[in-house]
């Protein structure tokens, strides 16, 4: 691990808006009132990377609580530091493996989930690691409140198509689907938030897919 990564890992341990591993478990079922000290809705960004979506959504919607989830602390560092420096108090970061999600959130606790440019895990042998595989959809079904939404934004056409098939196969409700979000009817300020990786994809003229669905 490089010196910069080591420094960032050490620094996030001092951040009030970052919880790592088991430190997040006591808040299961009570993130709003116990951590954020309010009764506002809870929204997750999974595989949040540098946390651009988490922080920007928190700024746009101060009446909601946002939690960015990723395992790579050196990436979380950027979003957490920005939130602290800018005084964005309705945002937190949780450093855990997403596979353990239901150990940290209670049934019906989450209002909405964002999955922004996740690793598409293209190999068939790694299907279970795709964040829209049946394995993960079953987790989302537990923690989402009735009528809660899942949003997927990806440059990967295969992951988009795979998820469309999963939605149909699982009998979920599809609310929005497009293979080119910025040329679609769904384009708005929320979907216009661009992550570090999305900016790179757009420079390469890649189309950006978007899906919104519920259970």
Which positions are catalytic?
A: 119
Distance (Å, whole) CA 129 – CA 215: 20
Task: Determine which helix (DSSP H) or strand (DSSP E) holds 155, and give its type and residue range.
Answer: none
What is the number of other CB atoms lying within 10 angstroms of the CB of residue 61? Answer: 15
Report the DSSP beta bridge partners of residue 150.
Answer: 113, 213
CA atoms within 13 A on the CB side of 2: 5
Distance (Å, whole) CA 15 – CA 124: 38
Distance (Å, whole) CA 74 – CA 131: 21
């Amino acid at each position: 691990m490089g010196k910069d990564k080591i420094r960032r890992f050490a620094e996030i341990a001092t951040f009030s808006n970052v919880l790592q591993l088991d430190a997040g478990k006591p808040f299961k079922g009570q993130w709003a009132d116990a951590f954020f000290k309010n009764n506002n809705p809870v929204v997750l960004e999974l595989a949040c990377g540098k946390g651009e979506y988490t922080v920007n959504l928190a700024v746009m919607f101060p009446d909601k609580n946002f939690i960015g989830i990723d395992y790579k602390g050196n990436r979380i560092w950027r979003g957490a530091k920005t939130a602290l420096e800018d005084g964005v108090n309705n945002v937190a970061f949780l450093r855990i493996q997403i596979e353990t999600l239901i150990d940290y959130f209670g049934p019906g606790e989450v209002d909405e989930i964002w999955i922004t440019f996740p690793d598409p895990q293209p190999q068939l042998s790694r299907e279970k690691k795709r964040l829209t595989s049946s394995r993960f959809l079953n987790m989302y079904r537990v923690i989402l409140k009735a009528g809660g939404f899942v949003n997927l934004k990806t440059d990967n056409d295969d992951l988009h198509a795979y998820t469309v098939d999963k939605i149909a196969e699982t009998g979920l409700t599809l609310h929005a689907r497009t293979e080119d979000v910025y040329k679609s009817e769904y384009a708005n300020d929320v979907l216009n938030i661009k992550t570090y990786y999305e900016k790179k994809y757009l420079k390469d003229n890649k189309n950006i897919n978007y899906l919104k669905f519920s259970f």
